[in-house]
Amino acid sequence: MKRLMFGVLISVPAFCLAADPEVGDFGKTSDGQAVEMYTLKSNDGLTAKIMTRGATLVELHVPDRDGKSADVVFGWDDVAGYESEDNQYFGCTTGRVCNRIAKGKFTLDGKEYTLAINNEPNHLHGGIKRSLDKVVWKATGFSNDRGQGVRFSYTSPDGEEGYPGALKVQVSYFVPAKGTSLRISYKATTDQATPVNLTNHAYFNLAGAGSETVLDHMLQLNADKYTPVDDTLIPTGKIEPVADTPLDFTRMKKIGARIDKLTDTAALGYDHNFVLNAKTDATKELNFAALLRDNSSGRTLRISTTEPGIQFYSGNFLKGQQGKNGKTYAYRSAVCLETQHFPDSVNHDDFPNTILKPGETFESTTMYQFGIAKPAEKN
């Protein structure tokens, strides 16, 4: 691209001229709050759409081996869909504490706190009415010489959903101008000690949202160990090896190959926290966590993170609800790969710490990098 400057025609790299992301209306909540949608685009075919309700990833379009684009995440066409009982945390920012807290109770600085029980007999994903996925966030779009982004902010008041302290949360989505990747970064501060564990709850099917199954996808997890759970999916406190179990994804394996061995367990399939192996390269900010591949489209998804764990969930409660563009979200037709601290960490001293204190800043980053598998990788 060229510009006239001081009477001289000069060349200006296109990436230096990135425009701020598009923003439009996405309707209103049932109580009348306006919801906005931000659209982020790369120069290489990735498009992400994120709404202010729940700082939620609504659409994520990426190309296949033939250059054909498809939306690879589950969601709804309107706010009403996200407010319905059919929404199983599709694409949202999850917290204050993602995953489960045993019996909705924890003790902090000598005081016991009681939270909502919304996953009998436990607390799940931050609560019922005012968890982070259900509130409308403030948003600011931005751009720079590297790409486009949107920054969401929300202050959860002291006592909201039973949690102590006023928690200021910021979630930033960023799409680099080059390549096909999406970066999500989290920050939080508090005025009282409080547990914090934030993640994104996107449901992925790399063949395209609404495809019949995800059991034919291939998966690798950078985890030699996992956290076993009781019959209510609360960690026992142990950390055990995945070797010689259906949970061994240390090498690329088909998701459906051994899932039947877990169908009759409490998890009803895969719904487990994996303990990520320690970083081998201390110079890199992010640690490789997971690689997902769909042979039919050639799409791959590589996930890297600063978090110590990742929850692999195989869509065991999907029930054929109608989503975007009338697509059906069938049983086990998507996976969630949620980077996180371990479930119920607030009640396990030996797990990575989730307590944020005044004067500290919670920070976390996860990168989703899409690519195309080489022909030899199909086998």
Residues marked active site are found at: 201, 338
Write the Ramachandran bin of 297: left for phi over 0, alpha for psi from -120 to 50, otherwise beta: alpha
Neighbour count for residue 169 (Cβ, 10 Å): 24
3-class DSSP state for residue 57? strand
What CA–CA distance (Å, rounded) separates 235 from 159? 26
CA distances from 156 to 109, 126, 137 (A): 20, 11, 10
What CA–CA distance (Å, rounded) separates 91 from 222? 23
Q: Which residues, 6+ apart, have CB-to-CB distance to 66 below 8 Å? A: none
What CA–CA distance (Å, rounded) separates 142 from 258? 44
3-class DSSP state for residue 226? strand
DSSP secondary structure, 307-344, as one string? SSEEEEE--TT---EE-GGG-EE-TT--BEEEEESPTT
The answer to whether the beta carbons of residues 358 and 313 sit under 8 Å apart is no
Token pair 């009477």 is at which residue?
A: 7
Residue 179, judged by CB atoms within 10 A of its CB (0-12, 13-18, 19+), counts as middle
What CA–CA distance (Å, rounded) separates 72 from 55? 18
What CA–CA distance (Å, rounded) separates 108 from 76? 38
CA distances from 334 to 78, 90, 270, 346 (A): 20, 11, 12, 29
In our burial notation (b when 16+ CB lie closer than 10 A, e otherwise), range 242-259 reads: beeebbbbbeeeebeeeb
